[in-house]
Amino acid sequence: MILAATSLLAITLAVPITRAGGGSGGGAGGACPGAPFPTDGNGFDPASFGPDAHVIDHRFFPLEPGTRWVYRGSSVEGRERVPHRVVFTVTDLTKEVACVRTLVGWDRDFVEGELVEKELIFLAQDAEGTVWHLGQYAESYDGPEFEGAAPWLVGYLEGAMAGIMMLDHPRVGTPVYSEGFAPPPYYWDDRARVVARGLETCVPAGCFDQVLLIEEFEPTKPGAFQLKFYAPHVGPVRVGWRGRNEEEREVLTLVRVVRLDQEAMARVRTGALAMEARANVYGLTSPLEEIPPP
């Protein structure tokens, strides 16, 4: 998401993406241009992913195509607290990024009822069960007006690094890990640590136990932390904060989880494909593809 993650810098589509250079490596697709990829100590390796890397069934982060999570809450704009809504949908599309077959998430962010951002998010699960974040394509809006876009993908932007969205076995005491990195002017550098397990929480969508709490932060914003609560077999159910930074005081709770029908999924597919068609990474990467039926 990812859910309420730090926004990318809005820039114009004219900013080019440079395909990372390097040798060749493994992975589901065989030879991997650009490998070995730079890492932030997480050990990303395309060879650790199989051909079904787009199947994400982690206990705390299950992403089944056709599932939509709706969150409501508030965030701070300037010095004013305003209504905030996030709608995250798992598409039935995949994209090969850094020789890994990723699953495509579609995130839409609304402030005071107006669309402010849309994102395509590229995620994959390795053979050990860790869920990885391999990049994003974000568009910024002012109501109906398109303002700019910020794409970054591992292997297609020099210096971009894959990050971990969910450890295979998240445990308290695990060292801080990166959730991904994109260098300026894109700049995305979220870090995370596991804070607690076995919690209970209630939100409009229901009450949950055995909840996992993960704390996220940016190195450039000391003292500001975003708290994400993950329920087993559901995923993120609550977003909170701690610290003194007023800008980070975002609050979201899960309102409902829905399964989309074929007609709704067709609209999702159309929206995602339209975004990729506008992205300047389209000519450098393999296009989005529908997941074949089982």
Structure letter (DSSP) for residue 175:
P
Query: Taking a C-beta distance cutoff of 8 angstroms, is the pair 133, 163 a contact?
Result: yes
Query: Taking a C-beta distance cutoff of 8 angstroms, is the pair 118, 94 a contact?
Result: no
Among 124, 118, 130, 53, residue whose Cα is nearest residue 88? 118
First to last CA, the chain: 26
Give the three-state DSSP class for 153: strand
Among 248, 136, 139, residue whose Cα is nearest residue 182? 136
Task: State both tokens at 196.
Answer: 């607690």
d(CA 138, CA 166): 21
- pLDDT of amino acid 283: 67
d(CA 147, CA 77): 18
- Mean pLDDT in order along the chain per 10 residues (294 residues): 41 46 42 73 89 97 98 83 94 95 96 93 97 94 85 88 96 95 88 97 98 94 90 97 72 97 96 88 81 79
- pLDDT of amino acid 34: 67
Task: State both tokens at 6.
Answer: 């730090």
Among 281, 37, 19, residue whose Cα is nearest residue 150? 281
- pLDDT of amino acid 252: 96
